[in-house]
Structure 1
Amino acid sequence: MDGEMKKKLLNKVEKPGGEIEVDDEGEEGHEQLKDKLWSETKKLWVVAGPAIFARFSTFGVNIISQAFIGHIGSTELAAYALVATVLLRFANGILLGMSNSLQTLCGQSFGAKQYHMLGIYLQRSWLVLTITSLFLLPLFIFTAPILKALGQEEEIAQVAGYISRWLIPVMFAFNVSFTCQMYLQAQSKNMAIAYLAAFSLVVHVFLSWLLAVKLKFGLEGALASTALAYWIPNIGQLMFIFYGGCPETWNGFSSLAFKDLWPVIKLSLSSGVMVCLELWYNTILVLLTGNMKNAQVAIDALSICLNINGWEMMISFGFLAAASVRVSNELGRGSSQAAKFSIGMTVITSFAIGFVLFIFFLFFRGRLAYIFTDSHDVARAVADLSPLLACSMLLNSVQPVLSGVAVGAGWQSIVACVNIASYYLIGIPIGVVLGYTINLQVKGVWMGMLIGTFLQTVVLIIITYRTDWEKQVSLARARVNQLYLTEPKEADPNMQEV
């Protein structure tokens, strides 16, 4: 009885007016945790939901283009697949990677309430990516001779060269698309991105049918629709930004965008290396598989697995964006505890989805292959690879989130070094030994590369766990202050408003 009375007395709190009330700390703590979890979940999905949908839509544009071009001719389909999976993916990796620096800078500045700096960072990123695109332009102009020099068939190389010139506007569309998405995500205003992506997808289906089938423009019609499908969301995003969608962060074009470009270039380069090393990893898997026995079945089965894996990666990239935005916002705001809590919530949520998919693909195995093929040999090969596909999905549910944490904190150069070591010095050599020396074929190559991904994930978990987040707050504050400029309207009275 004395113990109970003591507990009640300890739980009594005196209010300023002298009134006494009993405060059940356990229940209050539980309610606070529930509120905190619900609040963080909402913040997480505000970014992740639209980001996932937008990436699904972008992925869908390529699938729709491939479907319509496939009905034009087998040579055209092979040429488009070659340009899309090699050349366009190469450019996409570089430009997406370099634009990730904007995620760091915008997220931390928004958290620090230096709102006007977001518009300046956006313009700086446009400058850096446009210059980079000009360096990539010769690859699209001279595609045919490059492919011939690499041993590609003459007919396919010629058609690929023609297609690549049509896709030059798509490469430049990446500059606007990636930067605007990251600028809007930093402010949790990316619902506009999802709506525009959905609209673009519908328009692309209609225009592809109209131009390629109904009006019989063939390949030119399908490619024109593809270019428009990438630019329609860009025009919508630019109009949203310029005409009142971001009144706090967009103050018009400014000459200040040309100042202090070097720190942005350095961060862009390290971001580009980090992302490219990840995106090209699966491409190397396909290249290694092409030299194996029964290569056609192996490549068909692997392409089905990687296609499924590609769709799942769109979910992972959505959580990458969410992790990056939440961590950068909280570091910029100066809250290390909130940043850590956000990391935990994002990893748990993404892992839960990945675990469900892991069980699903272990259970269905080769049966899903019949969606893509009628070949029993390919279906059996897919069934054989399904456990590796399931494990890949499980790792993909954690690894991109940790990469997003790295982007949010500005660790791109560190993660680039981790990627080189785990992927290219460990994963690929082990895959080559297992696949060719031990003769496990495509399974051995994929197993080796999964070992590299697992190692990278473990290293990133250790780095994230051992990080002094108070120090990261100080580093973020220093970065934001170092690049801080006087508000554009005050610094440049002659600035042209949009």
Structure 2
Amino acid sequence: MEEDSKQPLISPTHHNETHDQSSPSSFTFTAGVPDIPPINSFSDFYREYRRESKKFWYLAAPAMFTSICRYSLGAVTQVFAGHVSSLALAAVSIENSVIAGFCFGIMLGMGSALETLCGQAFGAKQLDMLGVYMQRSWIILNTTALLLMFLYIFAEPLLELIGETAEISKAAGVFALWMIPQLFAYASNFPIAKFLQAQSKIMVMAVIAGTALLLHTFFSWLLILKLGWGLVGAAVVLNGTWWFIVLSQFSYILSGTCGEAWSGLSWKAFENLWAFVRLSLASAVMLCLEVWYYMALILFAGYLKNAKTSVDALSVCMNILGWTVMMVMGMNAAVSVRVSNELGAAHPRTAKFSLLIAVSSAFIFGLLFSMVLIITRNDFPALFSSDTDVQELVKELTPLLALCIIINNVQPVLSGVAVGAGWQAAVAYVNIGCYYIIGIPLGLILGYKLDMGVRGIWIGMMSGTAIQTCILFGMIYKVNWSEEATIAENKIKKWGGRQTRSEENDLGQ
């Protein structure tokens, strides 16, 4: 009853005007309608579950497809580079996973600050602020790209410093120089992506990503193999594909389909930059701590007695885990949009129910995929390696992989809720404690001290993830969603929005 008293009064006329089913975004969020009523029976629960599931999957399905397509771009380039030479394959793989992978994580993390701000502004009907937020993010991310560019310029000595051979370091260093345009494509793309996501314009992103993957595959074959351009062709196509995505999405925005959300360049983009930087950095730290955590798992495996077999088997498992995580990232984006939109609209009960749908969907998805792996554990390792020792170790690690997939399916969704609510800084501290104070030391003790090998390292580090997931559950369970809606309203005002709903009501009384 306390939550009911905090809901804004919406006139019937306003409700009818805003409930426009002709707009694609109305399938997921309709501005101006009341929060869902309290759920007092199974029929109420079933009704709202069906409604919210449709809204969630309308966002999640194309977002999953988009994530997979983008994840596949680097993989396609590596496949064609492997047909050029082993050195070309090594150069592309190292640049993609170490240099570009490091920068991708930072850029994606900093860009995710917009999931909070744009999503809540859209929910509060402060559409004009979405374009301003996107421009602020462009300024910050492109400035960051200028700093990260030195990693590309000095890639060769940096790779030698971490133990790569001189030959591979030189080839990867040259390839990294050619890939600098991709870095600035990241800086431009992620703000645009979050801007479109906040408005539930996910389908156009999926179409562009699918088209980009098809063109990328064709031109990779044409330039790398058919015309014999080798690594130069790989760089040209990979840069071109990412800029194709950026320009296509921005052309869609300029076409006028985003309405008031884009009204052109604005000097307001230069306001509150430092506060925006802090939120962006908190978002980057939160995401990067998770990405680097599992990169460390492979690094530690490289120091075991049977290092080659351990690293190869773990790489197979991480590859499978990577594909599932990419699909769950679509759910992450969907729940972040839903929670931020509903909090911005002062709909605490709907935000809470959106979380329920997302977590249950992610858990069921992870459970089904894990069951498939368990059933096929004697067969699927042969698809990735012909080495019998590697196959046997993958079979032994499959139960751990299955459990890891279930945990890692739920955890990104909870992180998406955290992003939608704007808790990035708090989650960053949680990640440091669970991953780097508990998970890694425990993994090293089990793996090396107790001689459990790669299984011990993985068990220890997965324990850190499980603890982090439990803490996120606790944070979300205890949260006062009505209070979060008020915080979202105040946050919009802080970041330069117009009068809040409560102020408008006070002026009208």
Partner of 2:144: 132
CA distance in 2, matches of 1:37, 1:416: 31
> Is 1:408 aligned to residue 383 of structure 2?
no
Verify the 8 A CA contact 1:40 1:342 in the aligned structure 2.
Answer: yes
> Is 1:115 aligned to residue 127 of structure 2?
yes
Q: SS of the counterpart of 1:398?
A: helix
Verify the 8 A CA contact 2:84 2:225 in the aligned structure 1.
Answer: no
Larger radius of gyration: 1
Q: TM-score, normalised by structure 1?
A: 0.90
> Is 1:347 aligned to residue 355 of structure 2?
no
CA distance in 1, matches of 2:397, 2:176: 33
> Is 1:192 aligned to residue 204 of structure 2?
yes
Once the two structures are superposed, residues 170-212 of structure 1 have per-residue CA deviations (whole angstroms, 9 ceiling, x without a partner) of: 1111122211111111110111110001101110111011111
Once the two structures are superposed, residues 418-449 of structure 1 have per-residue CA deviations (whole angstroms, 9 ceiling, x without a partner) of: 00000000000000000000011111100001
> Is 1:174 aligned to residue 186 of structure 2?
yes
CA distance in 2, matches of 1:152, 1:181: 35
Partner of 2:454: 442
Partner of 2:88: 76
Partner of 1:25: none
> Is 1:244 aligned to residue 256 of structure 2?
yes
- Sequence identity percentage: 43
Once the two structures are superposed, residues 211-250 of structure 1 have per-residue CA deviations (whole angstroms, 9 ceiling, x without a partner) of: 1111111111122111112121111100001121201200
Q: Could you tell me which amino acid in structure 1 is paired with residue 95 of structure 2?
A: V
CA distance in 2, matches of 1:36, 1:149: 56
Partner of 1:474: 486
Worse-superposed segment, 170-179 or 186-195: 170-179
Once the two structures are superposed, residues 95-143 of structure 1 have per-residue CA deviations (whole angstroms, 9 ceiling, x without a partner) of: 1111111110000000000010000000000001001111101000111
CA distance in 1, matches of 2:162, 2:468: 32
State the Cα distance separating 1:259 from its structure 2 match: 1.1
5 Å-filtered alignment, 1:263-302, equals 263-302=275-314
Partner of 1:104: 116
Verify the 8 A CA contact 1:111 1:332 in the aligned structure 2.
Answer: yes
Q: CA RMSD in A?
A: 1.4
Q: Could you tell me which amino acid in structure 1 is paired with residue 98 of structure 2?
A: V
Partner of 2:392: 380
CA distance in 1, matches of 2:364, 2:220: 38
Partner of 2:324: 312
Partner of 2:68: 56
CA distance in 2, matches of 1:64, 1:388: 28
CA distance in 2, matches of 1:462, 1:29: 25
Partner of 1:4: none
Q: SS of the counterpart of 2:451?
A: coil
CA distance in 1, matches of 2:103, 2:471: 28
Q: Could you tell me which amino acid in structure 1 is paired with residue 159 of structure 2?
A: L
Worse-superposed segment, 38-47 or 430-439: 38-47
CA distance in 2, matches of 1:187, 1:45: 15
Structure 2 residue aligned with 1:262, among 260, 274, 289? 274
Once the two structures are superposed, residues 41-78 of structure 1 have per-residue CA deviations (whole angstroms, 9 ceiling, x without a partner) of: 12111221111101100111111100011111111211
Partner of 1:214: 226
Partner of 1:392: 404
Partner of 1:14: none
Structure 1 residue aligned with 2:350, among 315, 338, 348? 338
Worse-superposed segment, 223-232 or 156-165: 223-232
State the Cα distance separating 1:485 from its structure 2 match: 4.2
Verify the 8 A CA contact 1:366 1:386 in the aligned structure 2.
Answer: no
Q: SS of the counterpart of 1:252?
A: coil
CA distance in 2, matches of 1:149, 1:314: 31
Worse-superposed segment, 37-46 or 237-246: 37-46
CA distance in 1, matches of 2:202, 2:178: 29
Q: Could you tell me which amino acid in structure 1 is paired with residue 281 of structure 2?
A: L
> Is 1:154 aligned to residue 166 of structure 2?
yes
Partner of 1:428: 440
State the Cα distance separating 1:148 from its structure 2 match: 2.2
Worse-superposed segment, 152-161 or 171-180: 171-180
Partner of 1:6: none
CA distance in 2, matches of 1:49, 1:172: 28
Verify the 8 A CA contact 2:52 2:354 in the aligned structure 1.
Answer: yes
> Is 1:370 aligned to residue 390 of structure 2?
no
5 Å-filtered alignment, 1:12-23, equals none
Worse-superposed segment, 221-230 or 471-480: 221-230
Verify the 8 A CA contact 1:93 1:272 in the aligned structure 2.
Answer: yes
CA distance in 2, matches of 1:127, 1:476: 24
5 Å-filtered alignment, 1:30-49, equals 32-49=44-61
> Is 1:144 aligned to residue 145 of structure 2?
no
Worse-superposed segment, 220-229 or 301-310: 220-229
CA distance in 1, matches of 2:162, 2:41: 65
Verify the 8 A CA contact 1:117 1:249 in the aligned structure 2.
Answer: yes
State the Cα distance separating 1:305 from its structure 2 match: 0.6
Worse-superposed segment, 171-180 or 50-59: 171-180
State the Cα distance separating 1:84 from its structure 2 match: 1.0
Verify the 8 A CA contact 1:112 1:333 in the aligned structure 2.
Answer: yes
CA distance in 2, matches of 1:65, 1:308: 18
CA distance in 2, matches of 1:155, 1:33: 62
State the Cα distance separating 1:471 from its structure 2 match: 1.2
Verify the 8 A CA contact 2:142 2:188 in the aligned structure 1.
Answer: no
State the Cα distance separating 1:30 from its structure 2 match: 5.7
Q: SS of the counterpart of 2:379?
A: helix
Verify the 8 A CA contact 2:90 2:168 in the aligned structure 1.
Answer: yes
- Against the structure 1 CA distance between its residues 296 and 35, is the aligned structure 2 distance closer, same or farther, given a 3 Å change threshold? same
CA distance in 2, matches of 1:222, 1:480: 43
Q: How many residues align?
A: 460
Verify the 8 A CA contact 1:111 1:329 in the aligned structure 2.
Answer: yes
Structure 1: 5+ residue runs without aligned partners? 1-27, 488-498
Verify the 8 A CA contact 1:366 1:384 in the aligned structure 2.
Answer: no
State the Cα distance separating 1:468 from its structure 2 match: 1.1
CA distance in 2, matches of 1:453, 1:432: 15
Worse-superposed segment, 171-180 or 122-131: 171-180
